[in-house]
Structure formats: structure tokens, C-alpha cells
Amino acid sequence: MLPASIIATHLQMPLADPIGYSKGVIYGRSGKLDVPGRRVLLVDDTVNKGSAMARAAALLPRGTAVTRLCVYGPYQVEDPSRIVDIAFEDCRGPRAFGWNLWKHRRLPRWGFDFDGVLCRDNTKEENDDGPRYAKFLRDVEPLFIPQRPIGHIVTGRLERYRPETEAWLARHGIQFEALHMTPFRSKAERMSAMKLAGGRGGWKARIVKDLDVEFFMESCPKQASIIAREIGIPVWCTRTQALA
């Protein structure tokens, strides 16, 4: 609906979803259209094999002339013109977009940082490796909740906090393949060891390299750059909303 609304605004034309259109319900107008038009521009953000576009077209009233438009066109079919009439850009796969990252079917093939990705980062006050941190682990609010099972979680959290971390994941319905945590006994020990390992980014890069993931989500821009450089896979930084 987002690209459709932009096009409708510029053309000053009525806007509707397929089901609403068949009933004469138009967005941004009071009342209904007495008779739906006989020609429509059917818009989708991205089209691949065309099943969603075909389902939408089937909802329109019989006899409606349809021009099919998408922003990002199909790439897994021999004849794209069978699926869409207009495509603005050719974007080869595998591909993901900002609006479908958290429900993408390839989520099981990806890796994820924890704090700053699945939940917010802790504050300096909360990061006491004691009671305040324990409360943070238990009560921190989610940031992004995946809508499908995900792959590997790689976090700088200490291994001794695994029970609290897994309990939080279960409480929020996040299914995952594996949870990788740092093996150190305390925050001070971790900080000392990480300096020798090239920081958290270097440590995560070594872990991720052995996991065969095709994509990684990281909250820290510096760590995202290190992981991308060391492994050679795309890394999405949630803080900057950009690829490293």
C-alpha cells in the first residue's frame, strides 16, 4: 500500500485495496464509489514468482482491466512480462527489504546480535554485572520480534546468563537454532579477553565464520564493519539502518 499511496497521491486518483475496491470502498474519501472503475493499476512493492499478484488480481471484479506494477521486479522466471507489466528496478536475489526483514523466509539462514537487535541495549547503570543487570535480563522490553524461527544468535553476554537469556527468548516466543555466548566468568574477565581478541566484533566474526550464515544483524556500527570485513557477508546495522 505504501508505493500505491504515493502513486495515487501524485496522480490524484482513488486508492483502494483489492477487497475494498470490489466493494467500492476508497481510502481518503467519504462514502463509496457507486460503480468501481473498469481499469486499475495494481501495485505491489516486490514481485518474484507472481503468486501474490495473481491472488490480488483474482479479487477484482470480473471484467476489470488490470495493469500490474511493482517497484522491484521478478528474477526467478524466464518471462517477467507474464507476471508484471511494469517493474521499476531489477533486484536480484536473495533479497530482503526493510519492511519484511522480520518475517523473511530466510530468517533461519541468518545470524543475529542480541542486545540492540532483539532487545534494547542496557544502560551504564544497568550494566553492573549484578542485581541491576539481572533485572535488565529479566524485564528488558523487546526491540524486534522475528515472525519466524531464526538462525544463530551471537552475543557478548556471559555464558552464566544463559538461563535468563533463554527464558526471555521463550517468554517472547522467539525460536532460534543456537545461542552463542562468551565463555568468561565475569564482565571484567570478558573485557580483558576481548582486548586480545580484537574486541567484540573480532570475537563475533570468528564465531559467525564457522556458522555458515549468509547474513548478519548487528547493532554496533563498528562491530558490523568488522564482521562484514572479516567474513565477507552483508551485515545490517540496526542502529544506522544501513549495510556495513
In a 3-state reduction of DSSP, which class is residue 189?
helix
**Region for residue 168 given its phi and psi (left: phi exceeds 0; alpha: psi -120 to 50; beta: otherwise):** alpha
The one-letter amino acid at 167: A
pLDDT value at residue 31:
54
pLDDT value at residue 196:
65
pLDDT value at residue 37:
63
What is the pTM for the complete model shown?
Answer: 0.80
Q: Which CATH number fits domain 101-243: 3.40.50, 1.10.3470, 2.60.40, 3.40.140?
A: 3.40.50
* Residues 66-87 pLDDT 10s: 999 999 998 888 888 899 999 9
Rg of the chain in Å (alpha carbons)? 23
Q: Name the DSSP letter for residue 64.
A: -
pLDDT value at residue 35:
55
Helix (H) or strand (E) holding 235: strand 235-237
pLDDT value at residue 29:
59
> Domain ranges in the chain?
2-89, 101-243
Peptide bond into 183 cis (omega under 30): no
Give the three cell numbers for residue 156. Answer: 557478548
Low-confidence ranges of the chain (pLDDT < 50): none
pLDDT value at residue 41:
95
